[in-house]
Structure 1
Amino acid sequence: MARARRSRPTGVVTVLKRARRLPLCPLAAVFFAATASLPAQTVPPQPIAPPPVTSTTHSESGLSESKAPMTKDQAAELFRSVDEILAFVAKDSHLKASRPVKRKLLTRDQVQRDLRSKMSEDEGAKRLERSELVLKKFGLLDRDFALKPFLLSLLTEQVAAYYDPKTRTVNMLDWVKPDEQKSVLAHELTHAVQDDRVHLEKWGTPGPTDISKNVGDDNRHIQLDEASTARESVTEGQAMAVFVDYELKDLGKTLADSPEIGDRMREMASDTAGSPILARAPLLLQESLLFPYGAGLGFEQQLLQSGGVDVAFAGALDRPPGSSHEILHAQDYLAKTPVPVLTMPDIHGLLDKDWDPYDVGVMGELDVRIITELFGGQQMAGPLAVAWNGGIYFAAQNRNAAPAVKQTPASIGTIYYSQWKNRDSARSFLKIYAGALARKYSALKKVDLPNGDEDHLLYSTSEGDVWLSLEDTGVFISEGYDRAMAKQLEAKYREAQGRGPLMQAGSQMPQHELTMGFRSLLPGIGVPRAVIDATHRLVQ
């Protein structure tokens, strides 16, 4: 179902990024490697029998698509423009372009073939499957939603020119008019100058990718996992800033001196009406796809206004933020305000006999915003997300589940512990989460408790017990474990808090966040066409 356009006070949200570990860019990150297997071309390719007349269609994304491949002359002119645009990018960002950039022209079939290949790779496919089960267990995706084929359709619709840091190649499309690809090149070539400074492939994935096996691993993942949300928001936000400046150059304006343009653009980018597949995507995918571009642009805009170009570009690359909270609240990043990181207790002694560790990470402010909007509506999402004060989750798979059941969320048990800035917000979140349980479980039944109250809730389901408990400002939620086990787990989680370290904003301690972690499983395809369309509508 298409969603109505929504305005967000803190910017738009983008997609999933646990997949740089899996494949998907508009959702956030699978695209950078999408065409790594194709040989780079350093000269324009020969056209495929260009027809005497070239007709065009206006795509759903706002780009004009040619019904025939571009001609040899068009390709040569587009290839030549790369160096000119790269010079503009370097001047606009104050980042040096110290190495040449290869350029490649791709057909639609090549792009689709490579997307399928990347999303079918053994390691990536397994990670995507694991993320899908956890997201469905939390209710962020419907149980019957077929994620992989939908992602392939979505990425194919949204693909535009994109930069591959592995081969230092900018990939262009032979079915899109050359003039309309140039502004997209300004975005993608920003990644090239970023690559010169920090080597994006390594910089974007600094944390562990293995499965956590003990409490030491658990806390290492929580504190040192990949910085997919924050770091991708920096790279895409910077690229969006240059993209906007390139679009405005003939008007003599920039994002820095026309901040209202960035504000309007972020609002327009949330309108998915021009992208039919994106419009009917689950809220999780819409938010995950657009967050690095919209919220990232907002983050960079605040840095530009507070410290200028060098702070916004080189400064953010050299001292990257570590969480979605800092992207949404750039003032906390600039002030180096500590971001709360909760501590994982040692629960392996309780669980490992019957449960295999499956996933562990941070449930950050962005995750809370998405969950609250999905379960409780948009009006509740903003205020509750701001009241979030730290959250972690753990997922395990039942060792005794039948092979067929292990392919479903029914085999997964989850724990989610969160802290809040006040008790009222904590209680509101507990109620919203409890109210959505009927959407996830077909055989849900509330269990009456002796001396029960609204802060302690127990439900029975076909997939095991669900226990929700509020103490002080901490909410504990267990799904899939029996009540006795849940009570033991809760005691360990509550006892462990207060002893964990606080992550300093900008320190080299990035977090893996549930929803944005999914993004890293996707192949990097560049700026989504929905964002390009929003910019063209605004500037032209």
Structure 2
Amino acid sequence: MCVVALFLATAVAPAFAQETSPPEPLAGEEARDQALLDAADSIAEQVSRIRGLPLLNEIPRGVKDREELRTMLIEQLHDEIPEAIFVAEEQMFKRLGLFGPEVNYRQLMLDLLTEQIAGFYDQSAKELYIMVGLPEQLQHSAMAHEIFHAIQDQHFDIGALLAPFSSQENGDFALARMALIEGDATVLMIDYVLYEEKTLPAGRALSAADIPMIAAMLLEMDTEQLAAAEQLGGSAMIGVNTDGVPSLTDSVLGSAPRIVRDLLLFPYVEGMRFVLRARANRTWTDVDAIYTNAPVSTSQILHPERYFAGELPLDVRFDASEALAEYEPMFDSVLGELQLRSWLATHADVYTHLPEPGPAAEGWRGDRLLGYRNEQDQVVAVHVSSWESEDDAREFAQYQAQIAEARYGTSTSHQTGTHGESWCLRHGPETDGHRVYVERWGELVLLIEGAPSTLDEEGAEIDPTTYLARQAVWSSLSRMPFEGTLRDREAAAREDIAEDATSSPNPHPGADDPSP
């Protein structure tokens, strides 16, 4: 959802608060730092040659220890993500059963910041930060990854790629764009290590994508295997522990809720696979061209054939606020195939009788999740999804009904009609209960989770909230081609960038100077 997507963007391109001058380094530290800066120059030349993209400007760079990097990123997290966003998303995760009641979302993300640091490129300041204390092999592969982000930014403008939609507005769009950015950098890092190990011949435009055995291995390995692979050491995908050893198991990330793990790993793992498939039997110039028409959904990343066929999602819009007069809107975003799959898989992990969740999310065409909260912090989630066929919609709706039955230990009532079907479940006491309502109408699925419910003495429902919310959704629902929405937002983003460039002084004077 939105915080995780913004967290990913922060890890690649944060804008930092003013930092104080560090203490004067010892002579040994000066030599160490200078050696790292010299290594960065050499690695930048290698990365540029391997990827076929020239370094257009020198990259200002600095050396920091783990604690300094952690402090800088935590300050960015506080500056960029207000507490209210964390609270809203945490409440939505808990409403949908994706977080346990004990999870503190902000603290979890702070803990991940502590763990998932190996250096980074600051897109706003156009600076590279190198972390000291890593073994040389991990240090150099991490630098290759982050240096390539600087080269990407010089050629393709990372900020403009992410600009059309904030991660709060469309978390799926943000994840798709981050998957291209991080996936490309991860393949580059793998190629860099292979060149260093002489597996790839120097001076030839080869990649892991050109070696069928290596490409097949990377496409088939699961996340745990990829995290354990030595050649991926140092990547932010897996983190580096205090001994400088790549680790996923027994880490903060490894023990985080599934949806957090899925969203944080997705840009690196599935992004890498997308780029490998895009590069297969093609050239890096072909991959470069993708940046001019970058993916807009995780469905395109998970199924590259959809990207190359030009299949775009639908922009789903609706409003249920009129029916929820005692509630305030607190969440509005697009989940997309990846998050829907993770949503289902989270419950399949707990309720093992549920079927394999992957197929139930593959027919995704578009969706939107709205959240509403009252003064008692009770949350109502309203989700509408659009699917490629009625069969796809039915599979997703049935899965949601099964999740509701498993979570609340009671059966749903099921009704069918000419154009659709519905499932309804009630849980809780008679005067303060809640309902889960699922309805399929053609290739659309509506889910209302957490609407209040009160029964009369005969056991009949007397709270109309679920019915009114249903009516409000269907009466306000629209589905539009995403292409038009994206075009309008890209134009608005370009205007904002142009206005900022003309009205704001450069906050980083000298950022183009080649000084270390």
Q: Same fold (TM over 0.5)?
A: yes
Which residue in the other structure is 1:257 paired with?
Answer: 210
Which residue in the other structure is 2:360 paired with?
Answer: 384
Which residue in the other structure is 1:525 paired with?
Answer: none
Equivalent position SS for 2:72: helix
How many residues were matched structurally? 442
Deviates more, 1:283-292 or 1:267-276: 267-276
Q: For residue 329 of structure 1, what is the amino acid of its counterpart?
A: H
Q: Is the 8 A contact 1:364 1:391 kept in 2?
A: yes
Equivalent position SS for 2:209: coil
1:326, distance to aligned residue in structure 2 (A): 0.7
CA distance in 2, matches of 1:476, 1:296: 30
Which residue in the other structure is 1:328 paired with?
Answer: 302
1:345 to 299, 318, 337: 318
1:463, distance to aligned residue in structure 2 (A): 5.9
Cα distance, 1:305–1:132 mapped onto 2, change above 3 Å:
same
Equivalent position SS for 1:391: strand
Deviates more, 1:466-475 or 1:257-266: 257-266
Q: 5 Å matches for 1:188-207?
A: 188-207=146-165
Q: Is the 8 A contact 1:390 1:418 kept in 2?
A: yes
Q: 5 Å matches for 1:123-522?
A: 123-207=81-165, 221=169, 227-249=173-195, 250-252=198-200, 254-265=207-218, 267-271=221-225, 274-275=247-248, 276-277=250-251, 278-305=253-280, 307-313=282-288, 315-342=289-316, 344-351=317-324, 353-376=325-348, 380-398=356-374, 401-402=375-376, 406=377, 411-437=378-404, 455-461=422-428, 462=432, 464-482=434-452, 484-495=464-475, 500-504=479-483, 508=487
Equivalent position SS for 2:437: strand
Q: For residue 384 of structure 2, what is the amino acid of its counterpart?
A: Y
Q: Is the 8 A contact 1:35 1:111 kept in 2?
A: no
Q: What are the ranges of 5 or more consecutive residues in structure 2 without an aligned counterpart?
A: 201-205, 229-246, 453-462, 491-516
Q: For residue 384 of structure 1, what is the amino acid of its counterpart?
A: A
CA distance in 2, matches of 1:47, 1:189: 24
CA distance in 1, matches of 2:484, 2:217: 28
Equivalent position SS for 1:436: helix
1:46, distance to aligned residue in structure 2 (A): 6.2
The higher radius of gyration belongs to: 2
Cα distance, 1:239–1:385 mapped onto 2, change above 3 Å:
same
Q: For residue 110 of structure 2, what is the amino acid of its counterpart?
A: L
1:318, distance to aligned residue in structure 2 (A): 1.6
Q: Is the 8 A contact 1:102 1:169 kept in 2?
A: yes
CA distance in 1, matches of 2:24, 2:485: 47
Cα distance, 1:361–1:417 mapped onto 2, change above 3 Å:
same
Q: 5 Å matches for 1:84-103?
A: 84-103=42-61
Q: Is the 8 A contact 1:337 1:505 kept in 2?
A: no
Equivalent position SS for 1:380: coil
Q: Is the 8 A contact 2:322 2:472 kept in 1?
A: no
Q: Is the 8 A contact 2:415 2:422 kept in 1?
A: no
CA distance in 2, matches of 1:492, 1:472: 18
Equivalent position SS for 2:357: helix
Cα distance, 1:387–1:209 mapped onto 2, change above 3 Å:
closer
Deviates more, 1:246-255 or 1:323-332: 246-255
Cα distance, 1:76–1:337 mapped onto 2, change above 3 Å:
same
Q: Is the 8 A contact 2:323 2:472 kept in 1?
A: no
Cα distance, 1:306–1:449 mapped onto 2, change above 3 Å:
closer
TM-score (structure 2 length as normaliser): 0.76
CA distance in 2, matches of 1:226, 1:422: 21
Which residue in the other structure is 1:214 paired with?
Answer: none
1:282, distance to aligned residue in structure 2 (A): 1.3
The Cα offsets for residues 144-167 of structure 1, whole Å up to 9 and x where unpaired, read as 212222322233222112111111
TM-score (structure 1 length as normaliser): 0.73
Q: What are the ranges of 5 or more consecutive residues in structure 1 without an aligned counterpart?
A: 1-15, 51-70, 211-220, 512-540
Q: Is the 8 A contact 2:165 2:174 kept in 1?
A: no
Q: Is the 8 A contact 1:319 1:507 kept in 2?
A: no
CA distance in 2, matches of 1:382, 1:486: 29
What's the % identity of the aligned pairs?
22
The Cα offsets for residues 384-441 of structure 1, whole Å up to 9 and x where unpaired, read as 121233322111111xx24xxx3xxxx2111011233344443443333233336766
Cα distance, 1:132–1:340 mapped onto 2, change above 3 Å:
same
The Cα offsets for residues 155-198 of structure 1, whole Å up to 9 and x where unpaired, read as 32221121111111111112113443111111111110111123
Please give the root-mean-square deviation of Cα atoms over the aligned residues, in Å. Answer: 3.4
Equivalent position SS for 1:33: coil
Which residue in the other structure is 1:3 paired with?
Answer: none
Which residue in the other structure is 2:14 paired with?
Answer: 33
Q: Is the 8 A contact 2:5 2:263 kept in 1?
A: no
1:36, distance to aligned residue in structure 2 (A): 5.4
Q: For residue 239 of structure 1, what is the amino acid of its counterpart?
A: A
CA distance in 2, matches of 1:489, 1:17: 24
Cα distance, 1:412–1:31 mapped onto 2, change above 3 Å:
farther
Q: Is the 8 A contact 1:36 1:167 kept in 2?
A: no
CA distance in 2, matches of 1:97, 1:451: 62
CA distance in 1, matches of 2:258, 2:215: 23
Q: Is the 8 A contact 1:206 1:226 kept in 2?
A: no
Q: Is the 8 A contact 1:107 1:175 kept in 2?
A: yes
Q: For residue 360 of structure 1, what is the amino acid of its counterpart?
A: D
CA distance in 1, matches of 2:137, 2:111: 26
Q: Is the 8 A contact 1:19 1:30 kept in 2?
A: no
CA distance in 2, matches of 1:268, 1:36: 38
